[in-house]
Amino acid sequence: MSTPPASSSRSTPTASATVASAVTTHPILGVFGVLFGAMISKCAGQLLSVGLADLRGALHLGVDNASWLGTAFNAAMMFIGPFSVYLGGLFGVRRVLLACGALFTLVSVLLPFAGSLPIMLALLVFAGLTAGTFYPLTLSIVLRNLPMKYVLLGIAVYAMDVVITLNITTSLEAWYMNHLSWHWIFWNSAVLTPVMMVLIYFGIPWQPLPKPKEGQPKPSWEGFFYVSLGFALMYIALAQGQRLNWMNSATIIALVVTGLFLLLAAFFRRLRLRHGLVNLKFLMRRNIVLLGLTVVFFEFDLLATLLLLPNYLGAVQGYLPLQTGPVMLWAGLPQCIFGLLAMYLLRYIDARLILTAGFTLIAVACLMNAQLSSAWSGANFLPSQAVMSVGLALAFNALVGAIILELVNSGALRHPLDSLTFGGFFQTVRLFGGQIGTAFMVHFLSVREQFHSNILGLGVQLGDTATRQRLFSLSTAMDPHSTGANMAIGRALEILDLQVRRQAFTLAITDSFTLAAWSAACCLIVVACVSRVPTQFRKVVAAAKAD
């Protein structure tokens, strides 16, 4: 939501004055509460993704049925992202977070007891709808409750909160499976969410129900509902597109057509409103659009760590989550250290320069990984993971810092609805843009694997001397374990086919790392187009100390 366009053009007061009226007697508790909520939301989705294979085994689900578990949860989060702006404006942020936290805790407790797939999918939708409110409301609370002299520390905690969570969930899920049970994939959230609720209860002040000012239109749910449902349907199409063969599936076509229709309906409905609450001109500011695009590139480059690395170690080296986890986990410490360094640098250096350094290091790390071979194990990734962790820490801290500077300089902090709109916009961009990147990367990986498999297959002909020698050595090795020569040759053929597919997948992974490097390079161009804002963090901190 936003106020009418004219209000966003007023001069911006000092940063400390902007938020002074919203500071509570325990502002730190409220800030840590919403930061904890963002971590819980991110961790819940990542645990569901990492633990999907274990859930399939425990619930006796096929690949197709199990694929809907993550889709149901994330599509619901996609829906509630824009709609949380309406809910926050109607009921107030505190009420929304406490109510959704209570419901999310209850649903998380009940999820392991779902007796069938439809019941579990329904509960996951409720879980996504409730947990999805935690993330878009975070930035608004941090900026409105945290004194500006501590804002850089808030940025560092928020950035480490999100990025490090992604690195620890693999190890966390493996620990749950080895020491407890698959139930804790869901009960993890049930244990943590009440802590978030206590922090929010004592940290965010109670306020009366928001009421529109005189002349300001009342909040209307229709437009938000159209946008939210449209994005949710498009998200489902992206998540299931590769499995259902994209536009060759009637289901995907229906989802895309319906989603686009709802988005267009919401857009034209907004154009008809003379004083709509959502200020499209505010969201179309140059820097907001470019920073949103930067978020999309960042989410895409995260796939190098979250998708490509685990897929390679699992498919080629046969790693289990317990073995993959340490490869990702150890990179958390550099992210903490360099996250704090980025926070310090933001006070003196333009965020765009730190963004440039971060994405440059991400590109370098991806190019290092693009040199892999099928002989690489987890230890071979440690140097590139070190470079990647530093790049992610610098890039994400600077990205959040740039977003907050834009929020301060745009004057949105003076109006709670503008802040909610800002948070809802970036939540939508993060989820929808991230899923576009994931769908593209998965499709690219599949196409390149087929390409390399065909090329390698042309070089493996049964009549070739090299092929005959390879089969002879393999059949000789299998002969002691076979009942006859024919069985030994059959096993040798299976092993040769497996080796070809393994090499094809490895080459496809190298292509994907190269693609991620090019993505980071393209993001550098986007960052170069971001204009410098008048108020930098050194001015914000100096003004806060002066007050």
Whole-prediction pTM: 0.82
Residue 2 has pLDDT above 50, yes or no: no
259 in the same domain as 301 = no
Whether residue 17 is contained in a domain is answered as no
Give the pLDDT score at 24.
45
* Mean pLDDT value of segment 404-412: 77
Whole-angstrom Cα distance, residue 47 to residue 369? 25
Question: Does residue 4 form part of some domain?
Answer: no
Can you give the pLDDT at residue 8? 38
pLDDT of residue 7: 38
Distance (Å, whole) CA 193 – CA 197: 6
Do residue 357 and residue 268 come from a single domain?
no
Contact at 8 Å (CB) between 395 and 516?
no
Task: Check whether 259 has a pLDDT greater than 90.
Answer: yes
Give the pLDDT confidence score for residue 30 in this predicted structure.
Answer: 77
- Tell me: do 200 and 229 sit in the same domain: no
Residues 459 and 529 in one domain: yes
Q: Does 378 share its domain with 253?
A: no
Task: Specify whether the CB–CB gap between 354 and 394 falls below 8 A.
Answer: yes
CB 421 within 8 A of CB 413: no
Domain boundary among 193, 216, 239: 216
How many Å apart are CA 523 and CA 530, to the nearest integer? Answer: 11
Residue 274, pLDDT > 70, answer no
Please work out, in degrees rounded to the nearest 5, the angle formed at the alpha carbon of residue 240 by the alpha carbons of 235 and 241: 95
List for the chain the helix, strand, coil content (%; round to 5). 80, 0, 20
CATH of the domain at 479: 1.20.1250.20
Looking at the fold, whether 60 and 123 belong to one and the same domain comes out as yes
Q: Which residues contact 535 (CB under 8 A, 6 or more apart)?
A: 12, 15, 405, 408, 409
pLDDT at residue 23, rounded to an integer: 41
Choose one of 165, 192, 216: the last residue of a domain.
216
Output b/e per residue, 63-81; b: 16+ Cβ within 10 A.
Answer: eeebbbbbbbbbbbbbbbb
Does a structural domain hold residue 459? yes
DSSP labels, 260-293? HHHHHHHHHHHHH-TT-SS-HHHHT-HHHHHHHH
- Going by pLDDT thresholds of 50, 70 and 90, the confidence category of residue 272 is confident
Specify whether the CB–CB gap between 76 and 128 falls below 8 A: yes
What φ, ψ does residue 212 adopt, rounded to 5°?
-60, 140
> What pLDDT, on the 0 to 100 scale, is given for residue 324?
81
Q: How far apart are CA 399 and CA 524, in angstroms?
A: 12
| Secondary structure (DSSP) of 474-525 | HHHHHGGGSSSHHHHHHHHHHHHHHHHHHHHHHHHHHHHHHHHHHHHHHHHH
Is residue 131 domain-resident? Answer: yes
Q: What is the pLDDT of residue 229?
A: 92
- Asked, for residue 92, whether it belongs to a domain, the answer is yes
| Contacts for 497 with CB less than 8 Å, ≥ 6 apart | none
pLDDT on residue 94? 84
- Together in a domain, 178 and 315: no
Q: Is residue 6 part of a domain?
A: no
Are residues 209 and 352 both part of a single domain?
A: no
- Choose the final residue of a domain: 255, 276, 297: 276
Give residue-wise pLDDT tens across range 99-132.
Answer: 999 999 999 999 999 878 899 999 999 999 999 8
**Percent of the chain having pLDDT more than 90?**
27
Please write the tens of the pLDDT for every residue from 338-384: 877 888 888 888 889 999 999 999 999 999 999 988 888 888 888 88
Q: Is 457 part of a structural domain of the chain?
A: yes
Is residue 111 domain-shared with residue 154, that is, in the same domain? yes
- Give the total number of structural domains in the chain: 3
pLDDT tens for 222-245 read 778 888 899 999 999 999 988 888
**Residue 11 placed within a domain:** no
- Are 463 and 500 part of one and the same domain? yes
Which is it for the CA torsion 446, 504, 53, 51, positive or negative?
negative
Domain extent at residue 50: 26-216
Least confident of 219-233, 414-428, 473-487: 473-487
Residues in Cβ contact with 532 at an 8 Å cutoff, skipping those fewer than 6 apart: 350, 352
259 and 361 both lie in a single domain:
no
Burial (0-12, 13-18, 19+ Cβ within 10 Å), 489 = middle
At residue 4, what is the residue type? P
pLDDT attached to residue 18 = 41
Closest CA to 400 of 438, 343, 334: 343
Rounded to 5°, the CA angle 30-345-306 comes to 70
Distance (Å, rounded) from C-alpha 161 to C-alpha 36?
8
Query: pLDDT at residue 14 above 50?
Result: no
Pairwise pLDDT comparison (487 vs 317), residue with the higher score: 317
84 and 63 part of one domain: yes
The DSSP letter of residue 547 is -
pLDDT, tens digit, for every residue of 186-202?
Answer: 999 999 999 999 988 88
